[in-house]
Structure 1
Amino acid sequence: MPFDANTGKWVPWNRGKLVGQKAPLKPQEVWAIRVRLEIAEKRRDLALFNLAIDSKLRGWDLVSLRVADVRTGGEIRSRSKVLQSKTGNPVQFEISKQTRASISAWCEAKDLRPHDWLFPSRKDGSRHISTRQYARLVEDWTSSIGLPRSSYATHSMRRTKATLIYRKTGNLRAVQLLLGHTKIDSTVRYLGVEVEDALTLAESIEL
């Protein structure tokens, strides 16, 4: 929290900013961002974006992944498991074919080794990219396809696939497991399913 020397007070980080639950991406928006990253040949960003969508991990857990977390030998695994820094509990996630391809291309381009950070800092290879840098990248990705910066953030990446799974299946327990939530109440609040369900029901009624 920054300090304002003029007033002698600490300034809330969210002053003047829109806060609250951030929107998940729609499938067409995911593909639009992918295409832009592919055309621009941004291998790191494409691998990070794809893995963020698949893994549904919180920002810190995503940026602190090592190559060995997703690759065995020379092959990118189709599933992985990591410990969540927030809860200390393990969470599993799938790695789709296109995500495996983008991660493989990124690792090959950077000649990354098993104990290397999967997304090393460009300034200091001994560190991984920061959550702030990840947040800036998300802003760049979403704004590149015309989405408002204030409506999307790193949690949009985490919510995207989880929201789609819930809308297709209605299986809250499955989504809870995929997000690594300890309580299903947290999943309900996180997805905003009560509001979504109410609106869907209202839209189906004609008077």
Structure 2
Amino acid sequence: MRKGNPNHPKKGSSIKVEPIRNIKDIKAIKKLLENKPRDYCLFTLGINTNLRASDLLRITAGQVKDLKPGDEIEIKEKKTGKFRRITLNKACIKAIQKLLKSRQYEDHEPLFIGQRGPLTVPSVTRLVKSWCKAINLKGNYGSHTLRKTFGYQQRVRFNVPLPLLMETFNHSSQKETLNYLCIQEEEIKSIYENEI
């Protein structure tokens, strides 16, 4: 009888991926990708929006080619089927423009194309893992890391209120959002550091 991969999670369980917590690590990955327009754009859009990888991969060149910072795109979420409006900041627009200049795009083509066609979620997971490994980042990372990094940085760096993030991620409780962003343990631990 053949044994499966011992590192593979048991059926029904899941592996939790982490956000990228330190700005220096985000900067290191951006530097690593600065001469790879596709990967740079994927990373930048991923950490500046709350889109899942499956939704990032559905963005077409035509949807974003004429956008300016502050403009919105409308995405139909693959997981929920709901329409979501996303505002793109300056970093996103700059990365998109750099990517669009790197090759010829038809309007209907997805932004993120590999050698064998459009990127897939497993290929995004492999890319994120390779970027994190290249900068010696310890932990478990994958495609969801991008979305989690967005939320983590919004909460920790920009002090975005939890109810707002909860709404952004379409979560049913603040506890779910804290858990999703891998924040809860940190915040609870920090309480004990308060001297009375």
Is the shorter-chain TM-score for this pair beyond 0.5, marking a shared fold?
yes
Aligned to 1:31: 27
Q: Distance in 2 between matches of 1:97 and 1:12?
A: 44
Aligned-partner residue type, residue 142 of structure 2: A
Aligned-partner residue type, residue 154 of structure 1: S
Residues 1:42 and 2:42 aligned together: no
Q: In structure 2, which of residues 108, 127, 132 is the aligned counterpart of residue 137 of structure 1?
A: 127
After superposition, give the CA deviation of every residue in 1:157-202 in whole Å (9 maximum; x if it has no partner). 11112112122425122212332x1523532331244323211211
Q: Distance in 2 between matches of 1:135 and 1:193?
A: 22
Provide closer, same or farther for how the CA distance between residues 187 and 98 of structure 1 changes in structure 2, counting only shifts above 3 A: same
The answer as to whether partners of 1:24 and 1:159 remain within 8 angstroms in 2 is yes
Kindly report structure 1 stretches of 4+ aligned residues shifted beyond 4 Å. 9-13
Residues 1:63 and 2:57 aligned together: yes
Residues 1:184 and 2:178 aligned together: no
Aligned to 1:88: 81
- Normalized per residue, the structure richer in helix is 1
Q: Distance in 1 between matches of 2:83 and 2:76?
A: 4
Aligned residues: 189
Q: CA deviation at 1:44?
A: 0.7
Give the stretch that moved more between structures: 134-143 or 110-119: 110-119
The answer as to whether partners of 2:69 and 2:90 remain within 8 angstroms in 1 is no
Q: CA deviation at 1:142?
A: 0.7
- Structure 1: gaps (5+ residues): 1-5
Q: In structure 2, which of residues 56, 67, 76 is the aligned counterpart of residue 75 of structure 1?
A: 67
Aligned to 2:16: 21
The answer as to whether partners of 1:67 and 1:114 remain within 8 angstroms in 2 is yes
Aligned to 1:114: 107
Q: Distance in 1 between matches of 2:5 and 2:28?
A: 37
Aligned to 2:146: 157
Q: CA deviation at 1:204?
A: 2.4
Q: Distance in 2 between matches of 1:102 and 1:170?
A: 24
Q: TM-score, normalised by structure 1?
A: 0.79
Q: How big is the alpha-carbon RMSD for the aligned residues of Structure 1 and Structure 2?
A: 2.5
Q: TM-score, normalised by structure 2?
A: 0.83
* Percent of pairs with identical residues: 23
- Structure 2: gaps (5+ residues): none
Aligned to 1:105: 98
Aligned to 1:202: 192
After superposition, give the CA deviation of every residue in 1:100-121 in whole Å (9 maximum; x if it has no partner). 1121111122221221111123
Q: CA deviation at 1:11?
A: 6.5
Aligned-partner residue type, residue 94 of structure 1: T
Provide closer, same or farther for how the CA distance between residues 177 and 70 of structure 1 changes in structure 2, counting only shifts above 3 A: farther
SS of 2:73 mapped into structure 1: strand
The answer as to whether partners of 2:73 and 2:86 remain within 8 angstroms in 1 is yes
Provide closer, same or farther for how the CA distance between residues 199 and 48 of structure 1 changes in structure 2, counting only shifts above 3 A: same
The answer as to whether partners of 2:57 and 2:112 remain within 8 angstroms in 1 is yes
